Structure 1
Amino acid sequence: MSNNLAFAFGLLGNIVSFLVFLAPVPTFIQIYKKKSTEGFQCVPYVVGLFSAMMWIYYAFLKPNTTLLITINSVGCLIQTIYICFYLFYATKDARMQTLKVLLLLNVVGLGLIVLLTQFLTEGLTRASIVGWICLVFSLCVFVAPLCVVRQVIRTKSVEYMPFLLSFFLTLSAVMWFFYGLLLKDYNIAIPNVLGFGFGVVQMVLYIMYKNAKKVVEEKLPEIQNQIIETKDQKIPELKEQIIDVVKLSAIVRSEIIPGVIPVVVPRLVNDYGVNFDGEKKTMPKNETMEIS
């Protein structure tokens, strides 16, 4: 009975996990339209590829794990497509950074794990060690999308945190938790407990900030009108200041220094284009006004 339930949850896990792998498609459609990966991170896909490869290795060391092999084989293919797509549209710096992480994690890291476990361990010990490694990196798969949480909180925008990915990761965590629990394989069950928690956190953040950008856009015309009104209110004050300067210059001219004194007020007049009649006036730079 438990084996049948485990198979059922494993099958549902395959279906939901497949949807998880497809969840970033809207993100890559957006990248294609913009012809740029600006704001998006490739870390979740690199870590996802590594995790899928590790689970395939683990599945070959354990009996009755065909469902793990099938879904993670599909995952490897899809994650590879995503990474190639990202590299094609990434900037030079982002491309180099992604290639470094890919080389260190998926080539050097995976190669060392396979070699060390094959030559230094055997039987159940090997499966146990590989299982713990899979457990750690499964947590990384769930945590990886959190790398944009700081950006979401700082910008109050969920543009770069896809909701579908968070939702399907949470649902997938539920399915694989019961699959691992029924098979008494806690390397599968344990990371999905935390995965469920991380998924809920991401969805809560999405709900909190999904309308923040819309509110700003709605208030933008009002803010612009306030700026224009403030500028219009300042013009009469500026006019009075210019008149005061001219009057003071006239006093200096008549009472202290005889003759004609150039009064320089170009910055005020140039910047705001206001003459002494309250009308707009264009004055070239460095132009001076004479009081006769």
Structure 2
Amino acid sequence: MGGGFGDVILPYLSMTALASTVGFFLCGTQICYRIHQRGTTDGTSPAPFLMGFISCSFFIQYGFLKQDAIIYSTNAIGAFLQGVYLIYFWSKTRNTRTLNKILLIEICLISTLVLYCKYSGESRENLIFQIGNICIFSNILSVGAPLMDIGTVVSTKSSESLPFPLCFASFVVCLQWFGYGMIIEDMVIIVPNFIATIISILQLSLFLIYPAPSKKYEKLSQI
């Protein structure tokens, strides 16, 4: 897909992928708004923010190595927004000690990665391969982060704890980046986004299997 039609649509797909990804990152505001309404983070996991922050940070380094402005600029915006969400979550949570430990670990991992790329002496090709594999793993974990609440969803038989806008946006974004990866023939983009698309479909299916209480009431009122 690297030539012909792919070359024609690549500029448009790049810009739409960038725009939709920024929209995806902004879905975190919905989680923060829910925390604001409740006045507490109880029942809300910081996992999407934590995994999003470290995944974006890794992809910034990968984008620089690949000299792909779309990749590093998109993830720079993502890392900034996830950092803002984490600060807000930290200000509202009662379990700051655990969150501080996780954030410290993430900062150490990111710093280690940057220093390794700068001082390891590895060739650019080897670094792209190594960092690419790390990005594949972190991206899959980032998209699957909301599934950490699957136990709550099943036990309560309600998808209320899952952020629907985030899950839906994840599906749209991953599908676009999968197409982008196919065109530029980059397995680091193709593999995680193919898997992430499947995960997103699984997440969305939970909203049909276990609808939130408000949705149940809406259906009953229509009978």
1:252-267 pair list within 5 angstroms: none
Separation in structure 1 between the aligned mates of residue 151 and residue 124 of structure 2, nearest angstrom? 43
**Identity value in percent:** 23
Q: Which has the larger radius of gyration?
A: 1
Residues 62 and 157 (structure 1), Cα distance of their counterparts in 2 relative to 1, 3 Å cut: same
The 3-state SS of whatever aligns with 2:44 is: coil
Counterpart AA for 1:15: A
Q: Shift in Å at residue 190 of structure 1?
A: 0.8
Quick check: 1:156–1:213 contact (8 Å CA) kept in 2? no
Residues 211 and 56 (structure 1), Cα distance of their counterparts in 2 relative to 1, 3 Å cut: closer
Alignment deviations for residues 66-85 of structure 1 (CA, whole Å, 9 cap, x no partner):
11122111111111110011
One of 32, 43, 50 as aligned partner of 1:46 = 50
Structure 2: runs of 5+ lacking an equivalent:
none
Counterpart AA for 2:179: F
2:57 paired with 1:90 = no
Please list every run of at least 4 consecutive aligned residues from structure 1 whose deviation after the TM superposition is greater than 4 angstroms.
Answer: 211-216
What count of residue pairs does the alignment treat as equivalent? 215
Separation in structure 1 between the aligned mates of residue 11 and residue 149 of structure 2, nearest angstrom? 35
Alignment deviations for residues 231-255 of structure 1 (CA, whole Å, 9 cap, x no partner):
xxxxxxxxxxxxxxxxxxxxxxxxx
Partner in structure 1 of residue 109 of structure 2: 109
Q: Mean alpha-carbon deviation: is it higher for 157-166 or for 114-123?
A: 114-123
Counterpart AA for 1:87: W
1:164-175 pair list within 5 angstroms: 164-175=165-176
Partner in structure 1 of residue 13 of structure 2: 9
Separation in structure 2 between the aligned mates of residue 140 and residue 48 of structure 1, nearest angstrom? 9
Partner in structure 2 of residue 28 of structure 1: 32
Q: Shift in Å at residue 214 of structure 1?
A: 6.1
Quick check: 1:6–1:178 contact (8 Å CA) kept in 2? no
More helix by share: 2
Counterpart AA for 1:115: L
Separation in structure 2 between the aligned mates of residue 214 and residue 165 of structure 1, nearest angstrom? 18
Separation in structure 2 between the aligned mates of residue 3 and residue 69 of structure 1, nearest angstrom? 21
Separation in structure 2 between the aligned mates of residue 78 and residue 136 of structure 1, nearest angstrom? 21
Separation in structure 1 between the aligned mates of residue 148 and residue 160 of structure 2, nearest angstrom? 14
TM-score, with normalisation over the residues of structure 1?
Answer: 0.69
Q: Shift in Å at residue 23 of structure 1?
A: 1.5
RMSD between superposed Cα atoms in Å: 2.0
Counterpart AA for 1:143: G
Q: Shift in Å at residue 213 of structure 1?
A: 6.5
